Amino acid sequence: MQTVNDVLSESVRKEIEHWLTKFPADRRESAVIPALTAAQEQNGGWLTEEIMNAVAEYIGMPRVSVYEVATFYSMFDREPCGRHKINVCTNICCMLMGSDSVVEYIENKLGIKQGETTADGKFTMKIEEECLAACGGGPMMVVDGHYYEKLTPEKIDTILDGLD
Amino acid sequence: MSAKPEINADDMVNIEINGVPMQAAKGSMIIHAADDANIYIPRFCYHKKLPIAANCRMCLVEVEGVPKPLPACATPVMDGMKVLTSSDFAKKAQQGVMEFLLINHPLDCPICDQGGECELQDIAMGYGRSVSRFAEKKRIVKDKNIGPLIATEMTRCIHCTRCIRTIELVGGDKELGGMGRGTKTLIGTYIERSVNSEMSGNVIDVCPVGALTAKPSRFAARAWEMRSTAGVAGHDCIGSNINTHIRNKEVVRVVPAENEKINEVWISDRDRYAYEGLNSDSRLTAPMIKVNGEWVETDWNTALEEVVEGMRANKDNLAGLMSPNVTTEEAFLMQKLLRDMGATSVDHRIGQQDFSDDGQAPLASSLGSSVEALESLDAALLIGSNIRHDQPIASHRLRKAADNGAKVMLLNSIDFDINFPIAEFIITHPDAFAADLAAMVKVALEQNSSATPDGLGALINDVIVTDVHRDIVANLTSANNSSVIIGAQAMALADLSVIRSLAGLLATLTNAQFGYLSRGANSIGASLAGAVPYAGVGGKAVSAGRNAKEMFDSPAAAYMLMNVEPEHDCIDPVQATSALKAADFVVCLTPFASDVMRDYADVLLPTAPYSETSGTFVNAAGTWQRFSANCAPLGETRPAWKVLRVLGNLLDLNGYDYLSSEEVRAEVARDTGQLKLDNTQDWQCPASLGGASGIVRITDLPIYAVDNVVRRADALQQTVHAVSETIAMNQATADKLGVSGAIRVVVAQHDDEISGELCIDARIADDCVLVSSGTVLSSGLGVPYQTITVTKD
Ligand code: SF4
Ligand code: FES
Ligand code: FES
């Protein structure tokens, strides 16, 4: 049987430990988001059931509570995905600023629809992204955690082409 | 010592709801005050027994001076607050919420199992609008398979999260959760698995819609076709209150009835689904007699004549055995009948082997407190108890205590899966229980330097005291409110009397209460009614007879059995069945017929299970709970009290003219009236603490094998807790016995031998081999807690 240590690498466990120090001892669950983030990173961008169970065991919280968190937040993926995750905000402000055409442009450029991954495993377009709190810069997107605002086709090309 | 704070005027505020002035406790919510005043506010997520989630918004009300509607379940009362629950403003808010809730909810109540008893349906009628403006597509959610007990139809879910909170709070493990978010929220387990809590069915009652319903009774009846009748659950010593729903003379389902002192609003799955056994095919529906070895159906007169003849012919050597699940009235009449015939051997303690302290030990082994009081304990030591499965409601109470910091401690041979924090535990060979308790007694004696009771000094001199013993004693002593409790599993121990003495002494020395959570639904009632061989009703002196074990060890010529299946229930199934087979005459008063029974019996009388008779169960706390028949007896079945009464008359005995079970009960109550339930006993020094006897066969009483009804309940038998027919031991024991790696093993005890599948189970203590009772395997073995040999098959 695999143990937690087999599933979570030492650096992930270190990272979790680091976050655990930031919360009271009886509030270990508070570290679940950074813990899942680190574990997802280690696994190439997505979470398996095994990883979620290991995180639950490591922190000492019910598995179901970890699943709840992992399914709630759109930054967690539970299926294999590309090396780069593109999140285009399609909420109201960005929509008014033309996010629909941003989506269309990227879809055409990469040949995938929202929610799909390119055949070479390079890009995943997340299915639908709600307000990412950069309304003033709409239309905008987040790629691998970096915010890009006031998007234009040229800008998108530079950003995406610049990734390996 | 219940921790209910006195409410004084300072803690109260004055508020007004719908113009009615009232007082409400500071910090309580508007909905609490409204409920207390019988002013109904619609709600879905709020449930008085669950933590407040405030996520459905159905309870919106108007509060004067506040521009927005407020949720009554999450808005604390404030002095001078004026609440309007059905002003136009409030109604509009409620209608708005209702409309949102119905956006995704199917509007097909006629094909929903919940239709007619649905909170959503009711509230939509009362607080909704008659039209929906939502023309878009409704979402559809795939149903989930969460096991044989609960049916799901998740499209109907309104995400109130009551089920999530219930399974966590009452079930004890967080088995359900809310996955996803927004319109995509799904309630479930995420990965497909069954919900395994022994209290899982409670999510059905709290679910306000038809998303979670009872699988076995799904689509079996409409709410308005069923008659709801009150009853008392008959499978453990807690006596949970239930409502039994009847359609066409058949029990369709069982739901909890509220009783704050006992089961609050919950019941165990065993109490909820056991009714399936009542409707099983093996119900006996007419009296039967054996003629020349062939069974024939007959009328009551003929059958009873047979019984009279059989009993008269063997009246010098008659014995009677009943289960601890019979009603007090039945127990009383059976012992009275047998004793009036001159018999002395009558008992109900089917799962016990050590009777050496009969007469010294308390007549009835009670809890020593109320069920409710379990939750205010600060420390408890459980001996030989799988409380979670033995008495799920008691376990729920104790878990509340443990969650509040109570130190719950265990002494067992199996590391049972307990779903609350355990402060200390000892998992050991049953032969070591006495030594462990003696060690605790030794610590306690040293601690409070009280005089060592007679004879004990020599016994405890050499016992080895460990830190665990010290910690257990320290926890018991330092607690304000602690208890030492002997559990149902302990009743079968070979040295029960020793355990009892030492545990009682330990309780005295540590200032703890001393009590029992015993086996069966009514062992206390049966004991009080005189169904023990050493005492009559109310402890009255009688000429002593043979107990539940002895009556088979030295067989009687004739037996009367009531509501018992000796091959599963008796401590020594092999001895019991062989004595029954050899007997001249055996009559069974039983709701069920089995092949084994047909083999040894001469007359089978169909008597009513608890759902078809009136009677009284006395629970662990000593509460007499009377119930009426839920439905008419099946076929020719008759209540056992009537059968015994008629038998008394046919046997020309005096005093069998009862017109109702109420009269029988009144007589028992009169004769036991002066008796107070008390577990203290005079100190009897055990002769020895026993010692290692090598490899022993241990037993447990699996949750769904406890009695004849439960064993026939199909859905329960499909759960993960169903009876497992295995021979289990830990790896070390398997290695020691040289059977490691074997598929099947043979267990031999004296002349008996069984062979079964080997199961390696790390929960079991060293040198112990578990064959659960109530199983087919165990019916091939003799008395448990004795040495055995194990070999590869
Ligand atoms: S399944 Fe029932 S109890 Fe659970 S969240 Fe849905 S509606 Fe509420
Ligand atoms: S709407 Fe796009 S960032 Fe807020
Ligand atoms: S009952 Fe108040 S918000 Fe649900």
Residue A65 has its nearest CB partner, among B174, B180, B181, at B174
Inform me whether the pLDDT recorded for B388 exceeds 90: yes
Q: Which residue of A has its CA nearest to B185?
A: A72
Section B670-698 average pLDDT: 86
Q: One-letter amino acid identity for B6?
A: E
Section B634-644 average pLDDT: 97
Residues of A in contact with B180 (CB under 8 A): 71-72
Inform me whether the pLDDT recorded for B574 exceeds 70: yes
Ligand 2: centre distance to CA A129 (Å): 9
Inform me whether the pLDDT recorded for B132 exceeds 90: no
Q: How many CA atoms lie within 13 A of B231 on its CB side?
A: 30
Q: Residue B6 has what pLDDT?
A: 52
Confidence of residue B67 (pLDDT cuts 50, 70, 90): very high
Q: Which of A74, A88, A91 to mutate to test the pocket of ligand 2 (most atoms within 8 A of CB)?
A: A91
Most B CBs within 10 A among A26, A55, A61, A71, hence the mutation to make, goes to: A71
Q: Residue B8 has what pLDDT?
A: 61
Of B216, B210, B282, residue with least CA distance to B252: B216
Ligand 3: centre distance to CA B5 (Å): 27
DSSP 8-state code for residue A47 = -
Section B466-477 average pLDDT: 97
pLDDT digits (tens, 9 = 90+) for B304-331: 999 999 999 999 999 999 999 999 999 9
Q: Which of B57, B94, B98, B100 to mutate to test the pocket of ligand 3 (most atoms within 8 A of CB)?
A: B57
Inform me whether the pLDDT recorded for B354 exceeds 50: yes
pLDDT digits (tens, 9 = 90+) for B71-126: 999 999 999 999 999 999 999 999 999 999 999 999 899 999 999 999 999 999 88
Q: Is B173 on the interface with A (CB under 8 A)?
A: yes
Residues A31, A75 contacting (CB under 8 angstroms)? no
Contact A68 B179 (CB under 8 A): yes
Inform me whether the pLDDT recorded for B4 exceeds 50: no
Can you tell me the distance from the alpha carbon of A66 to that of A72, in angstroms, rounded to the nearest whole number? Answer: 10
- The pTM of the full predicted model, rounded to 2 decimals, is 0.93
Burial class (CB in 10 A: 0-12, 13-18, 19+), B250: middle
Burial class (CB in 10 A: 0-12, 13-18, 19+), B428: middle
Question: Is-cis flag, bond preceding B609, omega within 30?
Answer: no
Of B199, B205, B148, residue with least CA distance to B175: B199
Residues of A in contact with B177 (CB under 8 A): 62, 64-65, 67-68
Residues of B in contact with A65 (CB under 8 A): 174, 177
Contact A71 B175 (CB under 8 A): no
DSSP per residue, B264-276: BT---HHHHHTHH
Contact A64 B181 (CB under 8 A): no
Confidence of residue A53 (pLDDT cuts 50, 70, 90): very high
Of the bound ligands, which one is closest to the alpha carbon of residue B143?
1
Residues of B in contact with A67 (CB under 8 A): 177, 179, 190-191
Q: One-letter amino acid identity for A41?
A: E
Q: Which of B155, B175, B212, B213 to mutate to test the pocket of ligand 1 (most atoms within 8 A of CB)?
A: B212
Q: Which atom of ligand 2 is nearest to the CA of A139?
A: 2
Q: Residue B448 has what pLDDT?
A: 82
Inform me whether the pLDDT recorded for B559 exceeds 70: yes
Q: How does the average pLDDT of chain B come out, rounded?
A: 94
Q: Is B176 on the interface with A (CB under 8 A)?
A: yes
Contact A67 B176 (CB under 8 A): no
Helix ranges (DSSP H) in B532-572: 550-553, 566-569
Contact B179 A49 (CB under 8 A): no
Of the bound ligands, which one is closest to the alpha carbon of residue B189?
1
DSSP per residue, B170-237: TSSS---EEES-GGG-EEE-SSS-----TTTTHHHHH-SSTTEEESTTTTS--GGG-EEEEEE--SST
Residues A48-51: contacts with CB under 8 Å, at least 24 apart: A48/A78, A49/B191, A50/A2, A50/A7, A51/A7, A51/A8
Ligand 1: centre distance to CA B159 (Å): 5
Can you tell me the distance from the alpha carbon of B288 to that of B306, in angstroms, rounded to the nearest whole number? Answer: 10
Tokens 């029988």 belong to B664
Inform me whether the pLDDT recorded for B543 exceeds 90: yes
Measured in whole angstroms, the distance separating CA B227 from the mean position of its chain's CA atoms is: 24
Q: Which atom of ligand 3 is nearest to the CA of B54?
A: 3
| H helix or E strand, kind and range, residue B727 | strand B726-729
pLDDT digits (tens, 9 = 90+) for A56-114: 999 999 999 999 999 999 889 999 999 999 999 999 999 999 999 999 999 999 999 99
Q: Residue B3 has what pLDDT?
A: 41
Q: Is B66 on the interface with A (CB under 8 A)?
A: no
Ligand 3 binding site (Cβ under 6 Å of any ligand atom): B 43-46, 54, 56-59, 71, 73
Cβ neighbours of B136 (radius 10 Å): 7
Shortest alpha-carbon distance between residue A139 and chain B (Å): 23
Inform me whether the pLDDT recorded for B336 exceeds 60: yes
